[in-house]
Amino acid sequence: MQISPSILSADFANLEADLLAIRSADWAHVDVMDNHFVPNLTLGLPVVEALVKVSPVPVDCHLMIDDPDRWAPGYAEAGAQLVTFHVEAAADPRGLARTLRAAGARAGLAVKPGTPWAPYEDLLPDLDMVLVMTVEPGFGGQSFMADQLPKVRAVRESVRRFGGEVWVQVDGGVSAQTIEQCAEAGADVFVAGSAVYGADDVGEAIAELRALVKDPGGHTHS
């Protein structure tokens, strides 16, 4: 069970300090938006290169951008250890996933709420993670879409059938109120933005989320 706080909810003028605040997390989730694929503009490759140098945890880049086939490999080359692109934007998702892996990153595939999972199941051998969006991508602080949980279950079931080591990430509205439902549905990587950075004590918020996805015996949900 891995916690990946989203710096979309951090203070962009103090990113280094806000990264250090999440040193007890597993990843730093960095949302790259290009104002084309989603109606918001955040940050790009030069900022990610700088973040990788100062982050106390590995960087998990979620690319909400057009033409990831062209742009995504640069993020792997910059040192992001997990690079996730949207299947809706990729011309050759399998080829891109292989390119990301060849560049030394884990390859993630993201699906928007309206995108079904079944057509992409056969990509699993080339993936390290599938990201099920539990909000429409583009903005932080949105409400969790519980109607996406069956998709999380479907992805987990595909991974079981495939038998590989593929993580299932959820992103959007993940909080102390929703994280257990996500774990029960089969997610094992949780992106939380405002639930972490909106807390008085960031480290405590991460610890609380981590505790919620462990059962009382200390075992994680399988």
| 214: CB partners within 8 A, 6+ apart | 1, 220
Burial 123-149 (b: 16+ CB within 10 A, else e): bbebbbbbbbbbbebbebeeebbeebb
pLDDT at 222 over 50: no
Q: Quote the CA–CA distance of 31 and 218 in Å, as a whole number.
A: 31
Residue 204 structure tokens = 């405590």
How would residue 220 be classed by pLDDT, with cut points 50, 70 and 90? low
pLDDT at 153 over 60: yes
Mean of the per-residue pLDDT values for the chain?
A: 95
Catalytic status, residue 31: yes
pLDDT at 216: 42
Q: Quote the CA–CA distance of 23 and 57 in Å, as a whole number.
A: 6
Catalytic status, residue 200: no
How would residue 142 be classed by pLDDT, with cut points 50, 70 and 90? confident
Distance of alpha carbon 135 from the chain centroid:
12
Residue 139 structure tokens = 């903005």
Name all domains of the chain by residue range, CATH numbers in brackets: 2-212 (3.20.20.70)
Catalytic residue among 34, 126, 171, 188: 171
CB 75 within 8 A of CB 31: no
Catalytic residue among 31, 60, 126, 188: 31
Mean pLDDT (whole number) for 178-203: 96
According to DSSP, the β-strands at 59-64 and 28-33 are parallel
pLDDT at 155: 98
